[in-house]
Amino acid sequence: MLEKIDLSKTITNADYKKSEKMLKPKLGELQRKAWDLKIPVILVFEGWHVSGMCEDINRFILSLDPRGYNFHTMTRPCYEELLKPFIVRFWSRIPVRGKIGVFDRSWYSRSITECLGEEKSERRMEKCLEEINYFERQLADDGYLIIKFFLHISEKEHKERFKELKKAGIPLLFEEYGKEMIHDLYFIGNYNKYLPSVEKLLEETDMPYAPWTVVEADDRNFATLKIMMTVIHALEASIEQATRTPAEKTLKYLDLEAQGIPQLNNSILEQINLSRKINADEYKASKKLYQQKLATLQYELFRIKRPMVVIFEGWDAAGKGGDIYRLVENLNPRLYRVVPVGSPNDTEKAHHYLWRFCEAIPKAGNITIFDRSWYGRVLVERVEGFCSEEEWKRAYREINEFEEILTQAGAIILKFWLHIDKETQLERFNSRQLDPEKKWKITAEDWRNRSRWEDYETAADEMLQKTGTMNAPWVVVESNDKRYSRIKVLKTVAETLEKEL
Amino acid sequence: MLEKIDLSKTITNADYKKSEKMLKPKLGELQRKAWDLKIPVILVFEGWHVSGMCEDINRFILSLDPRGYNFHTMTRPCYEELLKPFIVRFWSRIPVRGKIGVFDRSWYSRSITECLGEEKSERRMEKCLEEINYFERQLADDGYLIIKFFLHISEKEHKERFKELKKAGIPLLFEEYGKEMIHDLYFIGNYNKYLPSVEKLLEETDMPYAPWTVVEADDRNFATLKIMMTVIHALEASIEQATRTPAEKTLKYLDLEAQGIPQLNNSILEQINLSRKINADEYKASKKLYQQKLATLQYELFRIKRPMVVIFEGWDAAGKGGDIYRLVENLNPRLYRVVPVGSPNDTEKAHHYLWRFCEAIPKAGNITIFDRSWYGRVLVERVEGFCSEEEWKRAYREINEFEEILTQAGAIILKFWLHIDKETQLERFNSRQLDPEKKWKITAEDWRNRSRWEDYETAADEMLQKTGTMNAPWVVVESNDKRYSRIKVLKTVAETLEKEL
B279: distance to nearest CA of chain A, Å?
22
Please return the burial class of A259, using the count of CB atoms within 10 Å of its CB with bins 0-12, 13-18 and 19+: exposed
d(CA A334, CA A73): 31
pLDDT(B360) > 50: yes
Kindly report, residue by residue over B451-497, the tens digit of the pLDDT.
999 999 999 999 999 999 999 999 999 999 999 999 999 999 999 99
Compare all CA atoms of chain A with the CA of B298 and give the residue at the minimum distance: A170
Which class would CATH give A13-242? alpha beta
ipTM of the complex: 0.87
Residue B122 confidence (pLDDT): 85
Q: Where are the domains of chain B?
A: 13-243, 258-500
Residue B244 confidence (pLDDT): 79
pLDDT(B261) > 50: no
Kindly indicate the confidence band of residue B255, based on its pLDDT and cuts at 50, 70 and 90: very low
Do A213 and A147 touch, CB atoms closer than 8 A? yes
Residue type, A433: Q
From the centroid of its chain, how far is CA B172?
A: 30
Phi, psi of A158 (to 5 degrees): -55, -50
Residue A326 confidence (pLDDT): 97
d(CA B88, CA B94): 10
The average pLDDT across B80-109 equals 94
* CATH topology match: A13-242 vs A257-500: yes
- Sort out which chain B residues have CB atoms less than 8 A from A325's CB and list them: 62
Compare all CA atoms of chain B with the CA of A67 and give the residue at the minimum distance: B340
pLDDT(B498) > 50: yes
Residue A51 confidence (pLDDT): 65
Question: Residues 244..303 of A with a Cβ closer than 8 Å to B: which?
Answer: 299, 302-303
- Sort out which chain B residues have CB atoms less than 8 A from A57's CB and list them: 333
Residue type, B325: Y
d(CA A384, CA A381): 5
Fold of B13-243: Rossmann fold (3.40.50)
pLDDT(B389) > 90: yes
Compare all CA atoms of chain B with the CA of A172 and give the residue at the minimum distance: B299
Please return the burial class of B8, using the count of CB atoms within 10 Å of its CB with bins 0-12, 13-18 and 19+: exposed
* More confident position, B175 or A106: A106
Contact at CB, A365 and B25, closer than 8 angstroms: no
Do A313 and A416 touch, CB atoms closer than 8 A? yes
Q: How many C-beta atoms surround the C-beta of residue A345 within 10 A? A: 12
Phi, psi of A159 (to 5 degrees): -60, -45
pLDDT(A254) > 50: no
- The residue length of chain B stands at 501
Quick one: which of B325, B293, B482, B340 has its CA closest to A59? B325
The average pLDDT across B284-305 equals 95
The average pLDDT across A413-419 equals 98
Choose the mutation target among B24, B79, B330 for the interface with A, i.e. most A CBs under 10 Å: B79
Question: Between vectors from CA B78 to CA B366 and to CA A353, what angle results, nearest 5°?
Answer: 90
pLDDT(A420) > 60: yes
A244 DSSP 8-state letter = S
Do A483 and A280 touch, CB atoms closer than 8 A? yes
Contact at CB, B66 and A371, closer than 8 angstroms: yes
d(CA A119, CA A6): 37
- The residue length of chain A stands at 501
Which class would CATH give A257-500? alpha beta
> Among A296-305, B169-178, B196-205, B399-408, where is mean pLDDT lowest?
B169-178
B262: distance to nearest CA of chain A, Å?
36
Kindly indicate the confidence band of residue B250, based on its pLDDT and cuts at 50, 70 and 90: very low
Torsion of CA A86, A92, A98, A101, to 10 degrees: -50
d(CA A413, CA A307): 9
pLDDT(A243) > 90: no
Contact at CB, B62 and A328, closer than 8 angstroms: yes
Choose the mutation target among A58, A71, A179 for the interface with B, i.e. most B CBs under 10 Å: A58
* More confident position, B274 or B168: B274
d(CA B202, CA B1): 8
Fold of B258-500: Rossmann fold (3.40.50)
Run of H or E residues at B475: strand B474-478
Is residue A69 within 8 angstroms of chain B, CB to CB? no
Residue type, B411: A
Residue A320 confidence (pLDDT): 97
Question: Residues 111..170 of A with a Cβ closer than 8 Å to B: which?
Answer: 169-170
Map residue A134 onto helix, strand or coil: helix
pLDDT(A4) > 80: no
Kindly indicate the confidence band of residue A175, based on its pLDDT and cuts at 50, 70 and 90: low
Quickly list H helices, A218-279. Answer: 220-243
Please give the order of strands across the beta sheet that includes A412-419: A336-340, A367-371, A308-314, A412-419, A474-478
From the centroid of its chain, how far is CA A310?
A: 18
- Sort out which chain B residues have CB atoms less than 8 A from A328's CB and list them: 58, 62
